[in-house]
Structure 1
């Protein structure tokens, strides 16, 4: 993971310098700021520092932190063709929509394993943002165009060498609540109202039971309705950020409204779960 996310980015920056590339738009993640502290409409400059040891996503997030640092450090550096390399780091939240194979499909599998009931994990009151992948893709194009003409921008309107939060109008919710709109047509029952610590205890018991089965040479249990420990911890963090910098400096406006994003994504997930009851 480190070789791809850090060494790969380092090699990419060097290739940009050798080829005289003028703009590099790097995709980071909001997870680099998720370490247990609350983010309540924070801007990039006001977001609290998170020590690498506190990052909820562990080595993955630490690698993404270092990769972003490399990209930002490379801003305005010379290339071998005499031009200068301009960089920006975009920080989208959890993504959904076309191409998603990790979030909504994972929640769907948990729901099926739990008797067609939406899983309960994280803190029910810990709201987080999610964004439609089409809107985040558009933000990358806007960032590219902005950096290509940044010489004409005032200091306050520049994004070169800066991180930028990219969100859209998807309503923030807890993690199961973020997935539910795309699974509503599958007639799943609402999630049980379980506290964070109740689920944590269930996860510990499940791990202990798995160890007992393994010790006695028994086959592993079937699909579990419990989430991974990492996802459960991720769902305890309140993380709602401001996209003011993206709007003011990049001219970013989500091209797809929430109803449009919902319709497009529901169609994608409907095709991703063939044979399921609609």
Structure 2
């Protein structure tokens, strides 16, 4: 009779591995000698040695196949924030995460690392050097965040040293970098439409923007430090670039780097926020008749006009975290990765 090989600690699965963060995580894990299985609704790339399983996050049997002989799982599957598809957020972030936990426990997975979000404690008002002991937001800024709160609670509450199932949550903030389908493309599109001329507020508000490689580094450190005797068990950790920057300075550096003008006209925060709230109410009232998607939502105004940056002290203490790429280098590398979005290139293609 053939002897079944003992699962290797270097064998892992990345749920959501076809996404922006997931792909960067998979690439780094392969570089570090891990054997990687990807589970996602779609396959967007191929890497030698990486096994792909396509399936629905709520299909436990499909997950169990992907998790065979896997001891470590990274769960970074989530719809992108900004959508108004509440049913999708609930299905993926809550129902899907319950299924992931059940499948992990049945498959004998020992460690589960969740990609959460620092926004789980953000209510649209200033947070300066926020620590992980801040309470969950009672009034989350959007439904995406509401489901991320419930998701994080599910994962952390599932941690059990007695059952040999350990969990930890990583809370990044403002992820950006090469291949990002959100921040830079949306920023450029907004600038091309002439809607990046205004600064909301006085422009002094500090925010964390975190390079994707630093987020990946934090995930892998957490996985490697997650042991029964470690303080990581059942805890959440902020992972950022640890370099709070003025929100509008960051936006300007990216825009100018791609050949666009930086925003320069100031609008009072309270005025823009008030208009955003009115538009939001108007959208709700008219929803049965017409679909309106206002540019300024209360959530976007709050993100652009308030302080929200977080302390990495706990991650430094418990897992030795330090950013591996500085903010300056990260912005340079990100801008250089989008030559097709440069103003002169797009202008030439249009003419």
Q: What TM-score comes out, normalization by structure 1 length?
A: 0.79
Matches of 1:48 and 1:229, distance apart in 2: 21
Q: Are the aligned partners of 2:210 and 2:241 in contact in 1 as well (CA < 8 Å)?
A: yes
- 8 Å contact 1:108–1:183 — kept in the other structure? yes
Counterpart pick for 1:182 among 254, 260, 275? 254
Which structure features the higher share of helix residues? Answer: 1
Matches within 5 A, 1:85-104: 85-104=165-184
SS at match of 1:235: helix
The answer to whether the aligner puts 1:66 opposite 2:150 as a matched pair is yes
Q: What residue in structure 1 maps to residue 302 of structure 2?
A: 233
Q: CA deviation at 1:242?
A: 0.7
Aligned to 1:183, the other structure's residue is in SS state: helix
Q: Number of matched residues?
A: 254
Q: Which runs of 5+ in 1 are unaligned?
A: 211-216
Relative CO higher for 1 or 2, CA cutoff 8 Å, sep ≥ 6? 1
Question: How far apart, in 2, do the equivalents of 1:110 and 1:6 lie?
Answer: 32
The alpha carbon displacement at 1:66 in A equals: 0.4
Give 3-state SS (helix, strand or coil) of 1:181's partner: helix
Answering whether residue 129 of structure 2 is matched by residue 41 of structure 1, we say yes
SS of equivalent residue, structure 2 residue 250:
helix
List per-residue Cα deviations over 1:152-175 (Å, max 9, x = no partner). Answer: x4xxxx11110101111444222x
* Superimposed CA distance per residue, residues 232-264 of structure 1 (whole angstroms, 9 cap, x where no aligned partner): 133233222110011110111111122321221
Helix, strand or coil for the counterpart of 1:164? strand
Q: Distance in 1 between matches of 2:166 and 2:280?
A: 48
Show the counterpart of 2:33: none
Give 1:118 shift. Answer: 3.8
Distance in 2 of aligned mates of 1:260 and 1:60: 30
Distance 2:281 2:168 in 1: 45
Measure, in 2, the Cα distance between the counterparts of 1:12 and 1:172: 36
Q: 1:72 to 1:202 in 2, by over 3 A?
A: closer
1:44 is paired with a residue whose SS is coil
1:128 aligns with 207
Does 1:23 find its partner at 2:111? yes
Unaligned runs of 5+ in 2: 1-88, 284-289
The CA distance in 2 between the partners of 1:172 and 1:141, in whole Å, is 25
1:72 deviation in Å?
0.4
